[in-house]
Amino acid sequence: MDQSVAIQETLAEGEYCVIAVQGVLCEGDSRQSRLLGLVRYRLEHGSQEHALFLYTHRRMAITGDDVSLDQIVPVSRDFTLEEVSPDGELYILGSDVTIQLDTAELSLVFQLPFGSQTRMFLHEVARACPGFDPTTRDPEFLWLSRYRCAEPELELPTPRGCNSAPGTWPGYATIGGGGSNFDGLRPNGKGLPVDQSSRGQDKPESLQPRQNKSKSEITGMVRSSTITVSDKAHILSMQKFGLRDTIVKSHLVQKEEDYTYIQNFRFFVGTYNVNGQSPKECLRPWLSDGVQAPDVYCVGFQELDLSKEAFFFHDTPKEEEWFKAVSEGLHPDAKYAKVKLIRLVGIMLLLYVKQEHAAYVSEVEAETVGTGIMGRMGNKGGVAIRFQFHNTSICVVNSHLAAHIEEYERRNQDYKDICSRMQFCQLDPSRPPLTISKHDVILWLGDLNYRIEELDVEKVKKLIEEKDFQTLYAYDQLKIQVAAKTVFEGFTEGELTFQPTYKYDTGSDDWDTSEKCRAPAWCDRILWKGKNITQLSYQSHMALKTSDHKPVSSVFNIGVRVVNDELYRKTLEEIVRSLDKMENANIPSVSLSKREFCFQNVKYMQLKVESFTIHNGQVPCHFEFINKPDEESYCKQWLNANPSRGFLLPDSDIEIELELFVNKTTATKLNSGEDKIEDILVLHLDRGKDYFLSVSGNYLPSCFGSPIHTLCYMREPILDLPLETISELTLMPIRTGDDGSQLESPMEIPKELWMMVDYLYRNAIQQEDLFQQPGLRSEFEHVRDCLDTGMIDNLSASNHSVAEALLLFLESLPEPVICYSAYHNCLECSGNYTASKQVISTLPTFYRNVFHYLMAFLQELLKNSAKNHLDENILASIFGSLLLRNPAGHQKLDMTEKKKAQEFIHQFLCNPL
């Protein structure tokens, strides 16, 4: 996900976030997550200045509300950025990148995730450095003075002249360096020949990296590695792949069997839901007892931290605690290197390899997908690491799906969301992102949360006591859903010969004795997909009693394709010879199966897809959708082409999907008629001609994305009104109605809002986890249709689906309930309830009515907190960012002021209205 969008919302006019990357700030033994943004400012005379903005952040940074400015580092002449690595440490191509940032006033060390985003970030920072030219004046950074005034605690280094550390050129980011120790014909990943000409560029001695610096390690047993400096210099400077390289790579993939052989490696896969506990016992009974030393470890956790801080903020000390516990529990007969750690709130995945295999691990990427409420919260979802091991692509997924026995459809939806939204960038930027399914081997582990159905608790326990697992397995929801081909199609799971792993009384082997008395279930599972995979074991580990779950492990022999260098060279030479004959081939041309696309009856947040096929002629070609003149993107915001670029061999085909999706960003202008479902796409062939595709359709207006005052004047359902009326009402000024308008008498609040709140008041006042557990997408679409057609009597959905629809409705409002103009006044009077009520009294009538109506409803929920487990802090956190939003284009407030915004809402939940 591009988190630069969140940073951009915090910047002032004239400031632009070029690129952002999420990393970890390392200070001694402390590890704190930071979002790093490279911000550009254009000066009046046309030149530019840059600064690094460092943010603390909540969850994955999606909007400006999720980040808080922590520090600013101007990219001045004394600014340097270089890769560092501990002395004697093992290097792995594809592990986290450790960089050191130095100026005359400060020195910071960060760990950044290996991958295309970090590569581009470092490249852009290097480009931003002002360089050394005595004839040009020093950057002054006057535009940063506003931050120095607004944020007195920020220490802005004073821009200096050309004073810099010995052995470096001031202002240059010394990233990587040196020649390569790789043979020019050695395959990189899937056999891409490395172009030696792109590596051996001469550099001034002063641009070479400085001496490696040591850093404190969490544990001495496992070495956290960075990329080999020699190869990283090539990777970071790699320009867009040439056509010839792409053709060679494609042919090598086709001929892979000619130069590779299968070799078995032992993989350990483990999953453990730790119920928010810290490690209290040695993990060796789970990770290493009774098994040969694995070649690869894939270790996943769920519910790493159950605190509200972990839910609403990113950092947790539990990450370091469990990382250390795993590192100390690895097999004692081998030395391992950590390749990657990825975490989303409480879902964490660790990847280790034996040291001797490190050189054969490459193309490491990690991604996360949250499937919690509104698709944002990471309390449920998945994390994944993909990598190339020798010549085999492997993807490891750790997921925590929706809870509760009746929510199997929600679990199915979570699985599908993870599969569709988990995408990994490729080294070749012209190639489309990789999905989970595009790997040779997929290992899927986690707390999948599927339960035993149709049997009562005592019957389940009786079958377990008799060890009649086969009979019990017949009632397993995952087995039933896989048989129905709704989830995990094509995956395999080993036989369940161990008793269910959930739910136990913590610290014992006794089944749940709490009031809820959960029925035992096989929640924790491991599945796989791919060829040449043999499962050697699949078991639970009863010895560990820290959690109410038991850990599960599986050991596999996986056949990996290993390159025979001699055969590889021969294959490569044959391909290159054949390419030499094609160098002067004709201009490429393609044929398209379809050029006109009509999307009928498009609805809010409902994906529509049209597809077509590109058939290539006899000349290999790159294709890409390109921007039209004076436009920033190749298509409008509601449209996307997948893939938007790629490569075609002669006489080959590729299917392109045009995906249309209207969300909060685009709905308002479609409602008003300022935008229409109309666009022209330009498909460009490298060295060839352009092809034009026409997109048309119609959008069904929705209450989602409509302003509050507009909806108050719509006494009829929005879909029963003429488009002209909808357009007129949507474009109506916000204060209309407060000035004696002669329009038809409006309602006090939008009827759609009343419908949702009334439904929840009647059905969900005691619903556990309300506004915290997501609903079903199909049910949201049903709620939306009922609201837009006025067919409220037909509304039939789960409480969670209606609650999520309410949050999405509030999020979609183009002007929030507390209008932008009142935002700063609200912050200033936070903590003073009398003054806060006065600010609310100044809101336009309809907005004030909605605010009071929502607060009254939330107070009713809090009266039932013993049943629904809601409290004022949870509701203030959830509704604070929806009702009180920062005005677009204004500087984002720091964490202290962000808490003031939540405190403002908190006052109205705790006091009489």
Nearest in space to 246 (alpha carbons), one of 292, 193, 324, 319: 193
Alpha carbon distance 694, 814 (integer Å): 29
Average confidence (pLDDT) over 97-112: 89
**Rounded-to-integer distance, Cα 25 and Cα 315, Å:** 12
CA distance 874 to 340: 33
Give the up-direction half-sphere exposure of residue 605: CA atoms within 13 A in the CB hemisphere: 24
Cβ neighbours for 851, distance < 8 A, ≥ 6 positions apart:
817, 818, 840, 843, 883
Closest CA to 317 of 287, 346, 338: 346
> pLDDT value at position 94?
47
Angle between helices 845-862 and 872-883 (to 10 degrees): 160
Q: Would you put residue 536 in left (φ > 0), alpha (ψ -120 to 50) or beta?
A: alpha
Tokens 């930071």, residue located: 34
Which tens digit of pLDDT belongs to each residue from 774-801? 889 999 999 999 999 999 888 889 999 9
> Reading across the β-sheet that carries 30-42, which strands appear in turn?
67-74, 48-57, 30-42, 15-27, 107-112, 97-102, 80-83
Q: Are 548 and 505 in contact (CB under 8 A)?
A: yes
- Highest-confidence segment of 45-49, 153-157, 312-316, 545-549: 545-549
Count of C-beta atoms within a 10 Å radius of residue 890: 16
Distance CA 745, CA 737 (A): 9
Phi-psi sector, 131: left (phi>0), alpha (psi -120 to 50), beta: left
pLDDT > 70? residue 201 = no
Residue ranges with strand state E in 113-246: 187-188, 192-193, 223-224
- DSSP symbol at 554: E
Q: Are 286 and 544 in contact (CB under 8 A)?
A: yes
| pLDDT exceeds cutoff 80 at 131 | no
- Global pTM reads 0.71
| Integer Rg of the chain from CA | 29
Contact 499, 464 (CB under 8 A): yes
Q: What would the mean pLDDT of 664-675 be, rounded to a whole number?
A: 94
Question: What is the CB neighbour count within 10 angstroms for residue 631?
Answer: 11
- Average pLDDT for residues 471-489, to the nearest whole number? 97
Q: State how far the Cα of 589 lies from the Cα of 248, in Å rounded to an integer.
A: 20
Q: Which has the higher per-residue pLDDT, 486 or 221?
A: 486
CB-neighbour burial class of residue 863 (10 A; exposed 0-12, middle 13-18, buried 19+): exposed
**In whole angstroms, how far apart are CA 745 and each of 727, 742, 841, 850?**
18, 8, 21, 17
Distance in angstroms (rounded) separating the CA atoms of residues 310 and 299: 20
The model's confidence at residue 191, banded by pLDDT at 50, 70 and 90, is: very low
Task: Give the whole-angstrom CA distance, residue 797 versus residue 778.
Answer: 9
Does 860 have pLDDT greater than 50?
yes
Q: Kind of pairing, strands 260-273 and 381-389?
A: unpaired
The answer on pLDDT for 527 being more than 70 is: yes
**What tokens does 93 get?**
């191509």
pLDDT number for residue 448 = 98
The arithmetic mean of pLDDT across residues 608-612, rounded, is 96
pLDDT one-digit tens code per residue, 379-427: 789 999 999 999 999 999 999 999 999 999 999 999 999 999 999 988 7
Euclidean distance between CA atoms 605 and 596, whole angstroms? 23
Least confident window among 430-439, 632-641, 701-710: 430-439
* Helices (runs of H) and strands (runs of E) counted in the chain: 26, 32
HSE of 855, CA atoms in CB hemisphere, 13 A = 22
DSSP reduced 3-state for 492: strand
Task: Give the residue with greater pLDDT, 463 vs 233.
Answer: 463
Residue of higher predicted confidence among 537 and 895: 537
Could you tell me which CATH number the domain at 590-699 has?
2.60.40.10
The pLDDT assigned to 831 comes to 87
| Tokens of residue 481, six digits | 């859903």
Q: For Cα atoms 171, 173, 178, give the angle at the middle one, nearest 5 degrees.
A: 130
Q: What is the pLDDT of residues 862-901, one digit of tens each?
A: 999 999 999 998 899 889 889 998 886 444 545 666 788 8
Give the C-alpha separation, 260 to 692, whole Å: 42
Q: pLDDT tens-digit profile of 544-562?
A: 999 999 999 999 999 999 9
| Percent of the chain with pLDDT strictly greater than 90 | 57
pLDDT band at 377 (very low <50, low <70, confident <90, very high): low
For the cut 80, the answer to whether the pLDDT of residue 238 exceeds it is no
* Torsion angle in degrees (nearest 10) through CA of 245, 251, 257, 259: -40
Which of 82, 109, 189, 98 has the alpha carbon at shortest distance from 424?
Answer: 189
For residue 794, the model assigns a pLDDT of 86
> Is 27 exposed, middle or buried (CB count within 10 Å of its CB: 0-12, 13-18, 19+)?
exposed
Give CA–CA dist 385/436, Å, rounded. Answer: 10
| Top-confidence residue, 318 or 245 | 318
Give yes or no for residue 210 having a pLDDT over 80: no
Per-residue model confidence (pLDDT) at position 58: 64
Tell me, what's the pLDDT at 503? 94
Is pLDDT at 507 greater than 90 in this prediction?
yes
Amino acid residing at 802: V
**How many Å apart are CA 418 and CA 421, to the nearest integer?**
5
Which residue is listed with tokens 């893939």? 643
Distance CA 348, CA 342 (A): 6
Query: In this structure, are residues 804 and 780 in contact, taking their beta carbons and an 8 Å threshold?
Result: yes
Q: What's the pLDDT score for residue 719? A: 96
Backbone conformation region of residue 778, classed left if phi is above 0, alpha if psi is from -120 to 50, else beta: alpha
The DSSP output letter for 291 is S
Superfamily of domain 751-910: Rho GTPase activation protein (1.10.555.10)
Is the CATH number of domain 4-227 3.90.1140.10? no
Q: Which stretch, 123-127, 618-622, 652-656, has highest mean pLDDT?
A: 652-656
Better-scored residue on pLDDT, 796 or 204: 796
* DSSP state letters, 424-452: E--SSTTSPPEEGGGSSEEEEEEE----B
φ, ψ for residue 647, nearest 5 deg: -135, 140
Read off the pLDDT band of 489 (50, 70, 90). Answer: very high
Residue 545: per-residue pLDDT:
96
Is pLDDT above 50 for 272?
yes
Task: Indicate the range of 86-90, 375-379, 728-732, 868-872 predicted with least confidence.
Answer: 86-90
SS3 407: coil
Summary mean pLDDT of the chain: 83
What does the block give as tokens for 848?
Answer: 């004030």
**Residue 598 CB contacts under 8 Å (≥ 6 apart), including other chains:** 610, 696, 697
What are the boundaries of each domain within the chain? 4-227, 258-563, 590-699, 751-910
Q: Nearest Cα to 53, choosing from 141, 176, 171?
A: 141
**pLDDT tens track for 578-593:** 776 665 557 889 999 9
H/E stretch holding 696 reads strand 690-699
Q: For tokens 């796989």, name the residue.
A: 528
Report strand pairing: 533-540 vs 524-530.
Answer: unpaired
Question: Rounded to an integer, what distance in angstroms lies between the CA atom of residue 874 and that of residue 308?
Answer: 8
37-51, 255-269, 729-743: least confidently modelled range: 729-743
Question: What is the mean pLDDT of the segment spanning 506-528?
Answer: 94
Task: Give CA–CA dist 116/124, Å, rounded.
Answer: 12
- What is the dihedral angle through the alpha carbons of 553, 278, 338, 534, rounded to the nearest 10 degrees? 0
Are domains 4-227 and 751-910 of this chain identical in fold?
Answer: no
Quick one: average pLDDT of 751-767?
Answer: 95
Q: CA neighbours within 13 Å on the CB side: how many for 326?
A: 28
CATH class of 258-563: alpha beta
Q: Which residue would you say has higher pLDDT here, 101 or 586?
A: 101
Supply 643's token pair: 């893939």
